[in-house]
Amino acid sequence: MATAGRWDAMSFPGADKTPRKLSPCILKCLKNEFHFDCMTPVQASSIPLFLQNKDVCVEACTGSGKTLAFLIPIFELILRREMPLQSDEVGALVIVPVRELAKQIYDIAETIIPYVNEEIKGREGSVPLQLFLLTGGSKQITDDLERYRKSGANIVIGTPGRIEQLVSQREFNTKELDVLVLDEADRLLDMGFQISLNNILSRIPKQRRTGLFSATQTSRIVDLARAGMRNPVKISIKVEGKEGQSMQKTPQKLENFYSFCEYDNRISQLVRFLNEHKENKIIVYFLTCAQVDYFSKVFKEKKMIESKVYSMHGKIPQEVRQQVHDSFLADGNGILLCTDVAARGLDIPDVDWIVQYDPPQNPDTFIHRVGRTARIGNRGSALLYLSPAQDAYVEFMKVKKVPMNEMELYADAVDLRQDILQCIKSDRSVMDKSITAFVSFLRAYKEHTLTYIFPFNRLDAGRLANGLCLLQLPKKHTLTYIFPFNRLDAGRLANGLCLLQLPKSPEMKILDHSRFRGDDVDTDTIPYPKADQEAKRQRMLAARKKREEMLTQMKKGNKKIKQEDLPAIELRTQKKRKLSTTQAWSKNKEVKEKKEKNREKKKRRVQAKGEDKE
């Protein structure tokens, strides 16, 4: 990482136009805690402007030091206030898209605040500054309000939804707010927080300093800047390309690689790669939560990976996600399987490799994924798996100023299909996870923004199914809306998921499944490992068998058997469906009654007009 001068050499005009430097306590913290003597370009560019009452809109690559670029001005501005903040007065608000990033920024601020409190301790009327972490998920808004009443809050760091809730409370005091920071601003908008942000902006003072920070700038960020900032200064930090090439959007010390690998060979190549780099800390990105669950289960059950395997995605409870994050952070090596929930802002030191098992839906997310390595001047590497038909993605990323080099596949990678099939045949829950991974991948694949590079109707479904070692493709009701295109290669997709059998459904007649290998096994004989779950399944199988026998008797003319005598199967599904039907029926009834009234009114008006003509 290029440097831009020493911290103790930074100067900027003060309120009286005389040059000023950073406070001694800030310099002491930077040296003792962070061991930073020099600034990064984004810090040298944005901090002086922030401290001169300027709004800033910052674009810089991941791992460039953006967090300190807004935390240092926050503490500096609070230190220089004429009237010290009281315990219940919020002086700064930092809004981020995800809880993990909020906790990370909170931890960094928690490192700085003792030095700041030590300096303000002797000032008249001052009280120790209080940090306040505000995220949803694990606590209620009433709990957060109670914490605020007891300890107060001067610097609030949190996610938009919970901050919006708290800002709307009258007792939450933002009258003295000096600084608003939106970190990962593009992600905030992509996740649908526009309304929450607008509500927050409408409830906080207009006279403030605002900073927007992100690795990518979009037109939506420009619109947000116009709405929430006053004449912002745009700062764009570019990275010089290697060997005299043009500018690039990824860190200079990051080596980007790609490999062309079919879906049914990808899991073998991944395992071979992870075991080859067992001494490294590696993050592996998948497209969906179900894929993370499935591969995490298979890796741990069959002990395929020599390193410790962690897993993280958005559907895991917040407390568990935090524990996984902390454990992986503390581990010297290890493998983290995750979705894009871990693609933004998280600073995990010493990550050696980023592996993308699937390309992200949005190409901008690629930059954030690979940005988890090669941070703050360190070296790092990234590998992307692509199907041969997706080769246009490499050229597209070069146009996006993300250069990549090809990496050869391992010639000695062992085919793991039989090992995975053995795991599936012994544990029905693994089979269920494989099918869920298959379905979720198809749904996600349809949402690719680059449809001309990732057309759904050209997806090699057979290889995908084989690679996931599916025993069967999903049933008719699942396939109806997932396979609208007759060019889907269901055979390769099934191979990629390691299916044992293809399903007997009308949809399969329009899908190419010629490459599907499968396995001749009765899937009803595959048990669940948990006794209560298996007992319930056996009851359902017995009910289904009895139902089929009774239906056969009815077809033969047995009038003693009536429709209502047939045993119910899938009781849980029927219960949910009944509740849903009841709710829908009540709503439909209201709509029907309203339509009927409108028809009656229209009919009376027509009759009245006819009588007038007569």
Reported as a single tens digit per residue, the pLDDT across 85-99 is 999 999 999 999 988
Query: Comparing C-alpha atoms, which of 343, 348, 322 is closest to residue 137?
Result: 322
Q: Do residues 303 and 426 share a domain?
A: no
CA 12-252-65 angle, to 5 degrees, is: 35
**Is 587 inside a domain boundary?**
no
Task: List CB contacts of 502: < 8 A, sequence separation 6 or more.
Answer: 472, 473, 490, 494, 508, 513, 516, 518
Q: Do residues 260 and 113 share a domain?
A: no
**Is 605 inside a domain boundary?**
no
**Is 279 inside a domain boundary?**
yes
**Left if phi > 0, otherwise alpha if psi is -120 to 50, otherwise beta: which for 557?**
left
pLDDT at 446: 87
What average pLDDT does the chain have? 84
Report residue 578's pLDDT band, with 50, 70 and 90 as the boundaries: very low
Whether 467 contacts 489, CB under 8 Å: no
Q: Do residues 77 and 210 share a domain?
A: yes
Reported as a single tens digit per residue, the pLDDT across 437-491 is 988 998 899 899 999 999 988 888 888 888 888 877 666 444 444 444 455 566 6
Distance CA 10, CA 569 (A): 73
Reported as a single tens digit per residue, the pLDDT across 505-548 is 444 554 555 666 667 777 888 888 888 888 888 888 888 888 88
Check the CA dihedral 499-500-505-509 and report its sign: positive
Fill in the DSSP letter of residue 402. -
Reported as a single tens digit per residue, the pLDDT across 354-393 is 999 999 999 988 988 998 898 877 889 999 999 999 999 9
**Is 573 inside a domain boundary?**
no
Domain boundary among 214, 236, 258: 236
Q: Do residues 341 and 451 share a domain?
A: no
Q: Do residues 373 and 479 share a domain?
A: no
For residue 124, pLDDT beyond 90: no
Reported as a single tens digit per residue, the pLDDT across 50-109 is 998 899 999 887 778 889 999 999 999 999 998 999 999 999 999 999 888 899 999 999
Q: Do residues 493 and 550 share a domain?
A: no
Secondary structure of 133-177 as H, E, C letters = EECCCCCCHHHHHHHHHHHCCCEEEECHHHHHHHHCCCCCECCCC
Sheet holding 254-260, edge to edge: 309-312, 334-338, 281-285, 353-356, 380-386, 254-260, 405-406
**Is 128 inside a domain boundary?**
yes
CA distances from 526 to 432, 522, 535 (A): 11, 8, 13
CATH code where residue 21 lies: 3.40.50.300
For residue 576, pLDDT beyond 60: no
Q: Do residues 367 and 421 share a domain?
A: no
Which residue matches tokens 């995800």?
Answer: 98
Q: What is the mean pLDDT of residues 40-44?
A: 90
Could you list the residue range(s) of the whole structural domain that residue 474 is in? 417-525
Crossing angle for the helix pair 194-203 and 219-228, to the nearest 10 degrees: 20
Q: What is the mean pLDDT of residues 417-432?
A: 90
Q: Do residues 476 and 458 share a domain?
A: yes
**Is 575 inside a domain boundary?**
no
- Among 140-154, 207-221, 254-268, which stretch is predicted with the lowest mean pLDDT? 207-221
Other Cβ atoms within 10 Å of 125 Cβ, number: 8
Check the CA dihedral 99-140-70-205 and report its sign: positive
Report the Cα–Cα distance between both ends of the chain, in Å, rounded: 91
Domain boundary among 187, 213, 236: 236
Report residue 28's pLDDT band, with 50, 70 and 90 as the boundaries: very high
pLDDT at 73: 95
CA distances from 500 to 13, 431, 511 (A): 71, 10, 17
Q: Do residues 215 and 89 share a domain?
A: yes
Beta bridge partners of 248: 239
**Is 590 inside a domain boundary?**
no
Q: Do residues 103 and 150 share a domain?
A: yes
Q: Do residues 384 and 344 share a domain?
A: yes
pLDDT at 122: 79
pLDDT at 2: 53
β strands within 8-55, DSSP E:
12-13, 19-20
pLDDT at 416: 92
Q: Do residues 123 and 272 share a domain?
A: no
With residue 56 as reference, give the H or E element that holds it.
strand 56-59
Q: What is the mean pLDDT of residues 179-190?
A: 89
For residue 286, pLDDT beyond 70: yes
Domain boundary among 525, 555, 581: 525
Count of domains forming the chain: 4
**Is 582 inside a domain boundary?**
no
Query: Comparing C-alpha atoms, which of 295, 306, 308 is closest to residue 273?
Result: 306
248 by DSSP, 3-state: which? Answer: strand
